[in-house]
Amino acid sequence: MCGIVGYVGKKRAAPLLLGALKKLEYRGYDSAGIAVLCGGLAVRKCAGEVSNLRSTASMEGTCGIGHTRWATHGGPTERNAHPHVWKRFAVVHNGIIENYQSLRAECEARGEEFYSETDSEVVAHLMEFYYAGDLLGALKETCARLKGSYALAVLCSERPGTIALARYKSPLVVGVGGGVWCASDIPAIAAKDRALYPLADGEFALLGDGAQFYGREGRIEKQPVGRDMSESIPLKRGYRHFMRKEIDEIPAVLAKCRPCALVSASFPGVRDGLAASSHITVVACGTAYHAGLAARCAFETLARVPCTVTVASEYRYADPVIGEGETVIAVSQSGETADTIAAAELARGCGARTVAVVNVTDSTLAGLCDDALPVSAGREIAVAATKSFNAQLMVLYTLAATLAEAKGRRGYGDLLKEMPELAAQTVSVGEGVRAWVAYFVSASSVYFIGRGADYVAALEGSLKLKEITYLPSEGYPAGELKHGTLALVEEGTPIVAVLTSERLAEKTMNAVHEVYARGARVFLITSLAEYAASKELTGAVVIPQCGEVFSPMLSVIPLQLLAYYVSVARGIDPDKPRNLAKSVTVE
């Protein structure tokens, strides 16, 4: 979940490292630090964001490493910030060392002192212990002792102008051109005429005058990957926050990702594999899990194929029953979500056909699955997913429509063609939620309700509010309120109801009547205008109508906007909510 960078070249390393780290802060911003080789190891660390780093002007060296942290072991303090130093070595690490306690005890038994609470510090100690003039050899011996996941960049004061790298289950890429670089993610170091070489699990590299790559058995050759340079870090372009900008980009993203996801034309293997599937399983985490729940509605309603949706961290440890003819769809914005990767590996190892739905086509998940479908949402900077969720829905709905067509149930694809224009209308009318903000700012709890596909939108709306406003919030099926949750409703409790299904409208309104009778403030997001006139409502937003099963692609937009405006009203940066990071690369 952390971000690491490294640079070797002819320019001062410190400002280049800081610039690259700013591009990686979506991976964590609890603390930051850099180490530069300039006669010895010069280190600067800070708690909080990269911009808090001070006094780097005196760091004149041209070789260094940097780190921006999402805390796992030890609090978000300067003491726990990377790089970690022990004698001749400085180390930055992304991942988790699961056996660090036993390794630390071993080091302490030798009389070595530790200064942090982190798991990562043991790597510096092991490097010092194993080093006998062979930097790569020491790194290989160190990694052989580690259990868990890691992307490592190591400096040694006796090896000026050299960075040693290792990767296992955490992303790491090398860039050659204008110096030699490494980073957790390509956009941090991407540049015109710079060749990019992602490391695979179990690979090592030495960076100096160039880049040398190694497997466990010796030197290997690698080929650079292509990269669309339009995928560079975007600018706010007049917006106060990236999240608001990214919500406005949803219509354009839907228009772009739809042709990319034309499965029947572009990915015939996926189409044929789906058509032969007797069961579909979706594995995902967080917002992507909610996209999977929406996909289940579509697969079962449109194609009449049973679909199960499982949180990836549960799937990998549940000893799942994977039958013949099963397709497992793994959904992840970054393609680096550790639990989702492990779940896909498990499914493929058991004989399932695996399909990745990802926003990063050169990600780990995309590479390990049988097929990878791009959602084409572009770079999403805000931690809370918005446009990537809508794009995931477009791809998953396209899969469902394609499967339905293969089974003789036609016409659903035509409904998807209308969605970009309907999304543009929804962004416009969704601004009406700004009038609701005062009722949410100081709420002790908030509840979102819906039925069927509307329940999925309610879950995602609740997650967005929790993520960026820190208000306690839950999403519930509207029919479940009277089975316990109604006890939590009191005078003034904000409740958001989502209603787009004519078939279920009166059932959802029954729940509205129940909570209103208990003193709740009820807010309605609906595509059925006649229900927006109810006197029981404190506020209502009417969105365009679309195919019922596809409705979350639209109804979630006002919910995203509501979370954004409440976050801003509470004085919170919606782009960087506390304790969260964009890419969850640890278990």
State how far the Cα of 396 lies from the Cα of 307, in Å rounded to an integer.
12
- Residue 2 among the catalytic residues: yes
Q: Per-residue DSSP letters for 313-374?
A: HHHTTS-----TTEEEEEEESSS--HHHHHHHHHHHHTT-EEEEEES-TTSHHHHHSSEEEE
- Encoding tokens for residue 311? 């949180």
> For residue 290, which of 172, 397, 393 has the smallest C-alpha distance?
393
- Residue 107 among the catalytic residues: no
State how far the Cα of 123 lies from the Cα of 146, in Å rounded to an integer.
9
Which helix (H) or strand (E) segment holds residue 437: the answer is none
User: For residues 183 and 153, is the Cβ–Cβ distance under 8 A?
Assistant: no
- Encoding tokens for residue 461? 């709306």
Q: What residues does 90 pair with on adjacent strands?
A: 85, 155
2, 63, 107, 143: which is the annotated catalytic residue?
Answer: 2
The upper half-sphere exposure of residue 62, i.e. CA atoms within 13 Å in the direction of its Cβ, equals 11
23, 387, 466, 582: which is the annotated catalytic residue?
Answer: 582
Number of other CB atoms surrounding residue 183 within 10 Å = 28
State how far the Cα of 124 lies from the Cα of 84, in Å rounded to an integer.
7
State how far the Cα of 504 lies from the Cα of 245, in Å rounded to an integer.
33
- Encoding tokens for residue 473? 């919030």
State how far the Cα of 402 lies from the Cα of 388, in Å rounded to an integer.
21
**Residue at token pair 């979940």:** 1
- Encoding tokens for residue 376? 């084409």
The CA–CA distances, whole Å, from 411 to 270, 547, 582 equal 19, 11, 36
Q: What is the 3-state secondary structure (H, E, C) of 30-91?
A: CEEEEEEECCCEEEEEEECCHHHCCCCCCCCCCEEEEEEECCCCCCCCCCCCCCEEECCEEE
User: For residues 211 and 205, is the Cβ–Cβ distance under 8 A?
Assistant: yes
Q: What residues does 211 pair with on adjacent strands?
A: 207
Single-letter residue type at 418: E
> For residue 82, which of 94, 98, 96 has the smallest C-alpha distance?
94
Question: Active-site residue numbers?
Answer: 2, 582
